[in-house]
């Protein structure tokens, strides 16, 4: 028996997220179907975590077990030739049988991209969130830094179902202007709640527009309750950038 670790990049625009769903196509289903045809085995691909419908990944990590003797290079090429072009296996390697892509993860890094100008991008329209209003980057940075450390993120969770606690620890966070009109929020945490990054971004945009101040953002975080300023950013600007082990 072998345990194979995969690094996967995907454009989530045409999929209902990572995890198999009865009502539509997912990344996990595409990969499992391809691997079953290649290895002739029933295959379960374990991802480091779920990404929601429409969310992208630069380096999702997954693992699966197989009896196949195929080399990892041949396996990678076989999978990539069997799946749609909006998904690609960037690497495949043998790892310890005990490695688990989800349970062994120490932290994850997500990036959210905002296009801050008055017209959309024809090429990046499904990969950035267009905000035509002027945004105050300094105020947004001040508010984002309030998230560092351990907090109860209940106000920034779409759902509390299936979690023992809504307390999470943010290890790093940055908000930077990458190009003339492109803003990128990067956040690393030991764990994320469902919808957490998108709700944070949506609320930070209200700070940037001047609708709430950084202190109001702090109050929302500490209150653990949603207000009408806690809005979810759309999924297409969000990327799973890295999983750390």
- The answer to whether 181 touches 206, Cβ cutoff 8 Å, is no
- The answer to whether 211 touches 227, Cβ cutoff 8 Å, is no
- The answer to whether 204 touches 216, Cβ cutoff 8 Å, is no
Taking CA atoms, 80 is separated from 8, 10, 89, in Å, by 10, 12, 6
**Looking at the DSSP assignment, which residues form a beta bridge with residue 89?**
8
- The answer to whether 156 touches 230, Cβ cutoff 8 Å, is yes
Taking CA atoms, 131 is separated from 229, 231, 237, 238, in Å, by 16, 14, 11, 15
Q: Any catalytic annotation for residue 52?
A: yes
Q: Which residues of 210-244 are buried (b: 16+ CB within 10 A; e: fewer)?
A: eebebebbeebbeeeebeeebebbbbbbbbbbbbe
* 11, 52, 86, 216: the active-site residue: 52
- The answer to whether 240 touches 57, Cβ cutoff 8 Å, is yes
Cα 108 from Cα 70, distance rounded (Å): 30
Catalytic positions: 52
């Amino acid at each position: 028996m072998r345990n194979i670790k995969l690094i996967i990049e995907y454009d989530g625009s045409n999929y209902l997220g990572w995890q198999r769903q009865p009502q539509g196509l997912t990344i996990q289903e595409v990969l499992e179907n391809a691997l079953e045809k290649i290895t002739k085995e029933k295959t379960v691909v374990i991802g480091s975590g779920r990404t929601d419908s429409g969310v992208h990944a630069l380096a999702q990590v997954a693992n699966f077990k197989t009896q196949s003797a195929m080399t990892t290079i041949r396996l990678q090429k076989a999978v990539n030739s069997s799946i749609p072009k909006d998904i690609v296996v960037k690497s495949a390697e043998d790892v310890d049988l005990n490695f688990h892509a989800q349970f062994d993860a120490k932290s994850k890094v997500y990036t959210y991209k905002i296009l801050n100008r008055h017209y959309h991008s024809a090429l990046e329209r499904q990969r950035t969130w267009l905000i035509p209003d002027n945004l105050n980057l300094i105020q947004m940075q001040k508010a984002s830094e309030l998230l560092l450390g351990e907090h109860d993120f209940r106000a920034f969770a779409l759902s509390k179902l299936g979690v023992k606690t809504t307390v999470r620890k943010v290890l790093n966070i940055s908000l930077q202007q990458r190009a003339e009109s492109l803003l990128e929020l990067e956040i690393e945490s030991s764990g994320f709640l469902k919808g957490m990054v998108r709700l944070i971004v949506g609320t930070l945009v209200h700070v940037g527009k001047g609708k709430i101040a950084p202190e109001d953002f702090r109050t929302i975080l500490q209150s653990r309750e949603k207000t009408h300023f806690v809005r979810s950013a759309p999924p297409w600007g969000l990327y799973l950038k890295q999983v750390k082990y």
